[in-house]
């Protein structure tokens, strides 16, 4: 009998069972001063090419809800996208490849302004 057939499923510190793709070290302290561990489930980063500092991974809250999101990382920042919207988001990112830095900055300003209007601040 191999050890793989008898090994208990991995779980995080809350007892939420790890999905098959989870590579998270749940004993890792993400905020040591506060004693907060990495309870969320996370896949190994997925790279499709040689471009550094960008990748995507699958993330699931460690509270047992089972809802997966895609984390898109770029230069230390990330955005979470529902799995169902990931293809549309990827197409949007491809379109952004044809924009200038000034256009990207204008878009960022517009998104902030739209959010302020939605919150009733403008």
Shorter beta-carbon distance to Zn ion: residue 41 or 56: 41
Shortest distance, position 25 Cβ to Zn ion, whole Å: 9
Q: 56 or 59, CB closer to Zn ion?
A: 59
Shortest Cβ distance from residue 24 to Zn ion (Å)? Answer: 5
Q: Per the structure block, which two tokens stand in for 61?
A: 């809250």
Q: Which of 30, 106 has the CB closer to Zn ion?
A: 30
Q: Which is nearer to Zn ion, 9 or 120 (CB)?
A: 9
Instruction: Say if CB 51 and CB 39 are below 8 A apart.
Output: no
The least CB distance from residue 121 to Zn ion, in Å, is: 39
Where do contacts with Zn ion occur on this chain (CB under 5 A)? 18, 22, 24, 41
Q: How far is the CB of 22 from Zn ion (least distance, A)?
A: 3
């Amino acid at each position: 009998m191999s050890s793989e057939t008898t090994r208990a499923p991995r779980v995080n510190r809350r007892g939420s069972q790890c999905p098959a793709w989870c590579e998270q070290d749940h004993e890792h302290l993400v905020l040591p001063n506060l004693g907060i561990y990495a309870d969320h489930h996370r896949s190994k980063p997925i790279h499709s090419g040689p471009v550094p500092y960008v990748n995507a991974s699958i993330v699931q809250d460690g509270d047992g809800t089972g809802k997966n999101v895609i984390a898109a990382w770029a230069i230390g920042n990330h955005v979470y996208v529902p799995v169902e919207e990931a293809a549309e988001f990827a197409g949007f990112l491809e379109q952004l490849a044809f924009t200038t830095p000034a256009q990207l900055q204008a878009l960022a300003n517009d998104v902030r302004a739209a959010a302020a209007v939605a919150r009733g601040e403008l």
